[in-house]
Chains A and B, each alone.
Chain A
Amino acid sequence: MTDRQQEYFFVFAVLLLGTAIRLSAPFSASFPLNDGGLFYQMIRDLQANQYILPVHTEYNFALIPYAYPPLAFYLFGFINQISSITLLKLMQFLPAVISIMTIPAFYLLAKQILEDPQQALWSTLAFTLTPRAFDWLIMGGGVTRSLGLLFAIFAIRQAWLLFSKPSTSTLFFTAALSLLVVVTHPEASIHVLIAAVLFYLWKDRSIQGASRAGAVGIIVLIFSAPWWGTVLRHHGIDPFLAALHAARSDTSSALTGILTLLKFDFTDEPFLQIISVVGLIGLFFLAAQSKLLLPAWVVFTSTLEPRGGTLYLILPVAMAAGILLNQVILPTLTKNENSKNVVWISFVSFFILYGSISSLNVAHTINQRLTLTQEDLDAFAWVKANTPEDSTFILLTQGLPLNDSTSEWFPVLAERRSAVTIFGYEWVNDGEFPRRITDYKNLQICATQGLICLENENLNYVYIQEEKTTLAEQLKHSPEYQLVYQAGKILIFKKNFLSGEHNLLADLRKLHKEPGSAHAKSH
């Protein structure tokens, strides 16, 4: 085999490994992994509105502006419409399939940036085996995240070419790929911009380079106008400001970003952080050789956009890990580079085995701990069939504000309002996003604090996901509540309104809801 054939064979083998890892969880699940409820509703809204951008999404009866970059929704909606595959099945598998495509994309990027094709190969192996490179991508919410990363990797590669080998076609492809990123995922756009600015400063720093970058920006702005123009027409600048504020409230400061970076615990490796440590030492190794591009990329990313940065940090970290493996660790294990000895083969086999086990463990954990079970789906179906349409639920799931599959899917599948579901509110510019996060957290504590915690809540039902909690025990014995559903660990209690008391919130919502729904349907 020639060197190139060997290279392709290696990439193909790594791709097969990555495919097995990334598809393992969707294949063993029976529902989209973890999140995706909001996107599911948004795709349905788009389909119901004949693929014209709706003004609001009907998600959780909350009048949330339909401002999210919509390309992925169009793609999933079209595929669903032209094929016989249900939307839920598409959301279960397609994000993982797109995530697989990031592996060859990353290889092409690494090959372009790194000096040696061997380094690119080891980097690709590190990228494939890093759980953070795929864990949030294979979930239901990966509808936009996976496509965002895929386009971003291609766009970052084009940005590198734009400043290192400029040509008209490079400019055109950079603009086209950047456009795809912008209309797919907001954070991906920011990371392409960060990488592009860094590459410009590194490779170019000329007026011509700045002009080319400006041209790309203008093209992207013009061609993405149908999306942002529609949002501006319906809502003004509010949704974008809201998203910025929400991102800021969910983000640590730049200083904290640097301190978090020092922790270097973002690869999501569940056992030994081999890739993280090898990548970290690799970055310092590069710095010692005055090769500062990758270290600078890491620092830029973690200080400028720490919220989604962990995913995009994997790009330079995997490259640094590949360099350290190729230049320092592997050469020490063999005296002759051409004849690999038993130790070299054993180490590489162990690295692959360990990385595969840790990645499969992460995928399995997402499936087992974060994904809705049949028990949840049955409970949602019961709620839909047996409770009034205008009832308000409080969901106690012990989840996290922005990582709670029950809270996210409940409004979509049970078709009832969940009082503290946060998803989607990042596009509502009422300055209340931080308060909503606090409310959510406070409410989850109620599970261990007991009934007194619910006294001031306006609610019709309490949905508890863990039977053996203090609150569940107290609700069972409270005259104010009635256990109306119990299956496995899930309990649903109905609040008994005493005479003279009435459900003020439900009345208010009735008034509030009607114009909202009419609004969505009219567009």
Chain B
Amino acid sequence: MQNRIKDKEYFLLLILAFLLGGWFRIMPSWLAGFPVNDGGMFYTMMNDLQVNNFIPPLYTTYNQSNIPFAYPPLALYIGATLSHVLNISELDILQWLPSIINTFTIPAFFFLAKEIIVDRFKCAIATVIFAFTPHLYEWLSMGGGLTRSFGTIFMMLTAIFSYRMFTHGHNKYVLPTILFGSLTALSHTESIIFAIMLPIIFWFFTSRSIHGVKLGILTAIGVLIFAGPWYLLVIYKHGFDPYLSALRTGGQNPFAFLLLFNFREITSEPIIDLIAVTGFLGLVFHIAKKEYIIPILYIAMYLIQPRSAHTIVNIPLAMAAGVFFTDVLLPGFKKRTGLILGLVIPLTMANSIYQIYVISLNAITKDERSAFAWVADNTPEDGRFLVLTGEPLAFCDSTSEWFPALAERQSITTIQGQEWVSGNDIHKYLARKSSLEKCLIEGLKCLEQELGNIKMDYVYIANYSPTINCNQSRSQFLETNPLIIDLKKSSKYVMQYESTKLVVFMKVK
């Protein structure tokens, strides 16, 4: 009887997690009315595929920079095919598809948790925590989440089946592991690293047998057979350079482990760090019980791929939080569980709703899209633009990413795509972008100094970025901006476009 009640509870919790978690993941795109934050490069790559009759081109036309079309293409194919078959614009695909796929990571998480934690009620609680973690509404639901969301869900499915494979030692789990491993490898570069690392950890904790090693090798060969052709094609066309270059941008450094303790950044709870603190206490609790698999997953994810770990580590963190909540906090509340729910539900809802609102602000506006259209129609196709927005961190600058895609001109500070060509130089690109953004306040002299010998034909200023250093900001576009004043006064520049929130100057030759 008791079990049946718990069964009902766990099922209701899962429904709640899926519905509310899905709503939280889809809402930012709906509120923004446009793909949130990034996705400009994928927009162009989907277009490239369609124009090239779905044959992968040698280079993407994005930002006219000869960026190799080396990105794992599955999500791009899915997006381009849906757009083509259903006659939906690529922008709509980027606005909705990532968040829909991201919603399905919730049941995937439950099944993964069920393998590791086993108890269904605990897993359901952990799933609710996973569904309500604000950070997960962000990077996987944005425009650029097209590949991240597919990569993550396939990586989670790979983890589920590899866990079963090593735990039970059955051959029947090899094929699904190969299938989802291959789909991961064809979806997202960073997810591949996690998809390799997780089965190794699972083997260590559950199998440690020669048979397990054999199954692992068999799986690896299978993945190479299915996903290898794509990588061979890229290596055949471009050599190893694009992949070597991308590998150097993972953010690995000797101090990466310090990020382990940055729990607040991991969950991105804007109001109170309820999940972060519970997750941290959960990790400690697991170590105390000598159950090391979840803490090891947490640590290993950060050490191997620090750049994207802040999203993926929410998987072990939510599991740890779920177990701590059910094993430690709930018993403390005995029969008055309503009280702890009365605490947790309003706070997590408030955290989520506020974060949804903040995320939704980070999208390019109608005003900017009009300006992009003007640039596309009225400037030479080979015009080189300096795009300034007030956001010094390139990865949070949606204008800089969307400009080459929609204005169809080259932006000299856009970072997206450079990971395939720049290698370590990507850090120089990031520093240059940051230095140039400072010139909005310091004026024309600073701009000329920072540009040095870099050629540029136009300056595009939309100085009202919704974020500064990736944090929400309240900056306003001001015509009294020192750089705009200097450019207006200067005889070397002519203003060619002006709206209430942005200006475009042409450099006089």
Contacts and interface: CB of A to CB of B under 8 A. Distances in A.
A281 B342 CA distance: 11
B333 A288 contact: yes
Interface in A224-280: 262-265, 271-274, 276-278, 280
A16 interface: no
A332 interface: yes
B265 to A, nearest CB: 9
A332 B285 contact: yes
A305 to B, nearest CB: 22
Given A272-B277, A343-B287, A264 B272 contact: yes
A263 B272 contact: yes
B284 interface: yes
B346 interface: yes
Contacts of A341: 288
A10 interface: no
Contacts of B343: 280-281, 284
Contacts of A343: 284, 287-288
B347 interface: yes
B332 A285 contact: yes
B263, B271, B284, B342 — which one has the most chain A CB atoms within 10 A of its CB?
B284
B278 A277 contact: yes
A449 interface: yes
Contacts of A350: 284
Contacts of B262: 271
A510 interface: no
B107 to A, nearest CB: 28
Contact of B478 (A277, A333, A344, A449): A449
Nearest to B333: A288
A344 B288 contact: yes
A470 B482 contact: yes
A287 B336 CA distance: 9
A103 to B, nearest CB: 24
Contacts of B476: 448
A433 B144 CA distance: 49
Interface in B90-125: none
Contacts of B346: 262
A397 to B, nearest CB: 17
Nearest to B337: A288
Main secondary structure of the interface of B (DSSP, over half): helix
Contact of A329 (B272, B276, B328): B328
A166 interface: no
Interface string A452-483: 10000000000000001110011000000000
Given A328-B328, A332-B288, A470 B480 contact: yes
A448 B328 CA distance: 51
Nearest to B346: A262
A58 B172 CA distance: 87
B273 A272 contact: yes
Nearest to A357: B261
Interface in A275-323: 276-278, 280-281, 284-285, 287-288
A179 B473 CA distance: 46
Given A271-B264, A284-B340, A276 B288 contact: no
Contact of B272 (A280, A327, A328): A280
A334 interface: yes
Interface residues of A, number: 39
Interface string A397-422: 00000000000000000000000000
B65 interface: no
Nearest to B325: A281
A363 B280 CA distance: 25
B342 to A, nearest CB: 8
Contacts of B288: 332-334, 341, 343-344, 347
Name the residue among A272, A344, A346 with the largest chain B CB count within 10 angstroms: A272
Contacts of B235: none
A347 B442 CA distance: 48
A273 B485 contact: no
Contacts of B273: 272-274, 276-277
B284 A450 contact: no
A347 B272 contact: no
Contacts of B334: 288
A407 to B, nearest CB: 21
A354 B281 CA distance: 13
Contact of A332 (B274, B328, B340, B342): B328
Contact of A262 (B263, B277, B347): B347
Nearest to B277: A277
Nearest to B485: A473
Interface string B330-367: 00111010011011001100100000000000000000
A274 B481 contact: no
A473 B482 contact: yes
B256 interface: no
A265 B271 contact: yes
Given A262-B346, A288-B336, A329-B328, A273 B285 contact: no
Interface string B319-333: 000000001110011
B336 A470 contact: no
A263 B350 CA distance: 9
Contacts of B478: 448-450, 470
Nearest to A280: B343
B33 interface: no
Given A272-B273, A273-B273, A288 B340 contact: yes
A328 B443 CA distance: 58
B51 interface: no
B482 A329 contact: no
A343 B329 CA distance: 19
Interface of B: 261-264, 271-274, 276-278, 280-281, 284-285, 287-288, 327-329, 332-334, 336, 339-340, 342-343, 346-347, 350, 441-443, 476, 478, 480-482, 485
16 contacts: A262-B347, A272-B261, A273-B277, A277-B278, A285-B333, A288-B339, A328-B332, A341-B288, A343-B287, A347-B288, A448-B476, A450-B478, A470-B441, A470-B480, A470-B482, A474-B485
Given A272-B273, A288-B333, A333-B288, 17 more contacts: A265-B271, A272-B264, A272-B280, A273-B264, A274-B277, A281-B340, A284-B343, A288-B336, A288-B340, A332-B327, A332-B328, A343-B284, A343-B287, A344-B288, A449-B478, A452-B480, A474-B480
Ranked 8 nearest A-B pairs via Cβ: A450-B480, A277-B277, A343-B288, A288-B336, A333-B288, A288-B333, A473-B482, A468-B441
Interface of A: 262-265, 271-274, 276-278, 280-281, 284-285, 287-288, 327-329, 332-334, 341, 343-344, 346-347, 350, 354, 448-450, 452, 468-470, 473-474
